[in-house]
Structure 1
Amino acid sequence: MPQLTRRLAMATAVAACFAAPLAQAQSYPSKPIRVVVPFAPGSATDQIGRAFMAKVSETLGQTVVVENKPGVNGMLGAADVAKAAPDGYTFLLGTNSTNAALKFLMKQLPYDQDTAFAPVAYVGSVPLMVAVNNDVPAKTLKELIDLAKAKPGQVSVAYASTSQQVSSAVLASMTGVQFNNIPYKSGPTAMTDLIGGQVMVFTADFGVTVPQHKGGKIRGLAVTSTKRAAAVPDLPTVNEALGLKDYELTAYFAVFAPAGTPAEAINKMNAAVNAAANSKDIQDKFAPNGFAIDPGTPAQLAERNKMETVKWEKAIREAKIEPQ
């Protein structure tokens, strides 16, 4: 009997050894997940990130902590995630800034943008609105461009992200005007100054601009997509307003992980983000702001991000924006 007992004990121990990794795998996530939003509270990225991650938390049955780390067009937050342990418990809510355009805007990044991240899930995209302070005499985008031509370097334009900076720079380049570009640390602060008249123009994501435009606090002049937006159907596209053909810039959002993150964590987060994207309350919340939700696989995000990187490089080079 003692010998039989020992054999049973050994068999149990061996079985436990094989079962432990499986149990660990099945238990992911077993602790809170951190998602870094590389822009300020109240920004479009923050609004989208918090809404989506609340749903992700419900799906995964685990706390998801959203942490804002704004600065340098999203670079600080992206750098934080790039150096984080690839254990499936840190993710980045990336954008066209952090994952496509930054390497063309900065002389040096603290991470390799092309290899530092693993694609997880595409979230969606949103157009921008060219908006002015209500006291600016221009009532149309053409009138604004005419004003900028008459007063070179005197029309002040705010920006707090890559999409905001590049959209204004491309507009200036295509129309031959010179703006007075003023950088801000956050979109909400730039919007406050636009409303207050400290700056004249702000081209920003719908999440920031549409409520203020509809509330009469600013005047929208045009949208940066190739088609009019259902959220503000009265506003023409930049192409319509100026008789152009090739102007188009939209902001996109996606989830990334540090390179080397386990496939299981990536796949579970992908499924949870896609479930959030397909939920009616998320769609109802963001549809009025022109947010186009487009769920997909990590591989589809990887391919999309390659195409976006090429697109943003072209826009930045044609706008002649010098790396800083």
Structure 2
Amino acid sequence: MKTLFATTRRQLLALAGGAAMATAVTLPAFAQDAYPSRPITFVCAFPAGSGADVLVRYFANGIQESTGHTIIVENKPGAAGSISAEYVARSDPDGYTVYVHSGFSTAVNYSLWNNPAIDPRTDLMGVAGLSALAFYLVVGPDSPHQTIEDLNAYLLEAGDQATFGASATSGRLLTAQYLSELGASPVEVPYRTGAEMIPDVVNGAVDFAVTDGVNALVQQREGRLRLLATGAGTRMEVAPDVPSLTEFGMDVDQVGVWGAYVAPGTPQEIVDQLAAMFDGVLATEETREFLAGAGSIVWRASPAEVDQQMADDVELGAYLVDLAGIPKN
């Protein structure tokens, strides 16, 4: 018995030592698994087939084709993007769940809710800048207002006899700041969508409207709208002939930037790898042309710059929501 116990004890010690050595070898190998080792999910805040979905899938496909990594797009619409933003903010900070959306809209949403689910300045972590989109002041092709100066003069003279159309929140925010800077008080004619608004602008039922770059540029090419000014701080590359409101002494600089975001606490090396994936797609001429077709320009920004832009936009959004008098949910 004594010999058997001694032998068994020696065997157990040898086995334990071997297991320890195996653990010492395998654990570091596991920790060093290359990222990504499984599919990455891009979360889209709008339904499949929407404009936002097309943009998210463009980057998902671009990264998948250029890197060979599997990218899945998951649509989580609702609450103007707040549902998807919270979903990503509460996800594991491992770089496998990425929020691809308008940073400006996400920032503005923070001021549209009495009890916002997240603070995008601290609950989302910037990865990469993607694109920038401006809104435009537009009139119909037969409008007597040939320039923004013409429209300014008319609005100041007509007072509440003048009208304007707006649909999206971003359009209302730009209109509010434009009119505040101008000192005019036309009456708003609300529209549910930009598509519903355009016919009334074309036939002159409203004196002017504010719409997004996609609508504005497409309708301009078809001869149905005239673009008088952009709300961006400078002229946009996609519409170089359209002046900025800043050229007329107005302190207006509203640009809707799109970016990629992950949960806070995601390791910086993973953030940097994700950023490089997006940048590889952004660097192509194909992407520049794709974004131009959607009225956007490429916005290449580092993770730190994306975070700073979010902080700036939250502050601007709070001011604009208050200026526009938009009630909170």
Q: Same fold (TM over 0.5)?
A: yes
2:196 counterpart of 1:193: yes
Q: What is the distance in 2 between the residues matched to 1:148 and 1:65?
A: 51
Aligned to 2:119: 112
SS in 2 for 1:105: coil
Q: Structure 2 vs 1, CA of residues 191 and 137 (structure 1 numbering), >3 Å: closer, same or farther?
A: farther
Aligned to 1:306: 311
Q: What is the distance in 1 between the residues matched to 2:113 and 2:209?
A: 22
Aligned to 1:236: 243
Q: Is the 8 A contact 1:153 1:180 kept in 2?
A: no
Q: What is the distance in 1 between the residues matched to 2:82 and 2:190?
A: 18
Q: Structure 2 vs 1, CA of residues 182 and 93 (structure 1 numbering), >3 Å: closer, same or farther?
A: farther
2:162 counterpart of 1:159: no
CA apart distance, 1:171: 1.3
The structure with the larger Rg is 2
Q: Is the 8 A contact 2:140 2:225 kept in 1?
A: yes
Q: What is the distance in 1 between the residues matched to 2:314 and 2:61?
A: 29
Aligned to 2:41: 33
Q: Is the 8 A contact 2:135 2:230 kept in 1?
A: yes
SS in 2 for 1:114: helix
Q: 2:136 aligns with which of 95, 107, 129?
A: 129
Q: Bigger CA drift: 214-223 or 247-256?
A: 214-223
Q: Structure 2 vs 1, CA of residues 138 and 304 (structure 1 numbering), >3 Å: closer, same or farther?
A: same
Q: Structure 2 vs 1, CA of residues 164 and 73 (structure 1 numbering), >3 Å: closer, same or farther?
A: farther
Q: Is the 8 A contact 1:122 1:255 kept in 2?
A: yes
Q: What is the distance in 2 between the residues matched to 1:231 and 1:58?
A: 27
Aligned to 2:271: 266
Amino acid at match of 2:25: A
Q: Bigger CA drift: 60-69 or 114-123?
A: 60-69
Q: How much identity, in percent, do the aligned residues show?
A: 22
Q: Is the 8 A contact 1:132 1:218 kept in 2?
A: yes
Structure 1 residues 80-91: aligned runs within 5 Å: 80-91=87-98
Q: Structure 2 vs 1, CA of residues 16 and 248 (structure 1 numbering), >3 Å: closer, same or farther?
A: closer
Q: What is the distance in 2 between the residues matched to 1:225 and 1:48?
A: 21
Deviations 1:127-185 (A, max 9, x none): 22222355665443344452586362762422224x3221111112222214415263x
Q: What is the distance in 2 between the residues matched to 1:93 and 1:148?
A: 41
Q: Structure 2 vs 1, CA of residues 10 and 75 (structure 1 numbering), >3 Å: closer, same or farther?
A: closer
Aligned length: 312
Q: What is the distance in 2 between the residues matched to 1:216 and 1:29?
A: 50
Amino acid at match of 1:192: A
Q: Is the 8 A contact 2:38 2:70 kept in 1?
A: no
CA apart distance, 1:121: 1.2
Q: Structure 2 vs 1, CA of residues 156 and 90 (structure 1 numbering), >3 Å: closer, same or farther?
A: same
2:21 counterpart of 1:18: no
**TM-score, normalised via structure 1 length:** 0.79
Deviations 1:84-135 (A, max 9, x none): 3433222112324344222223322122333221111122323222223556
Deviations 1:182-223 (A, max 9, x none): 263xxxxx2321333288454233234212211223332211
Aligned to 1:180: 188
Amino acid at match of 1:193: E
Q: What is the distance in 2 between the residues matched to 1:69 and 1:156?
A: 33
Question: Structure 2, unaligned stretches of length 5 or more?
Answer: 1-9
Q: What is the distance in 2 between the residues matched to 1:69 and 1:284?
A: 27
Structure 1 residues 44-63: aligned runs within 5 Å: 45-63=52-70
Q: Is the 8 A contact 2:121 2:310 kept in 1?
A: no
Structure 1 residues 238-253: aligned runs within 5 Å: 238-240=245-247, 243-253=248-258
Amino acid at match of 1:17: L
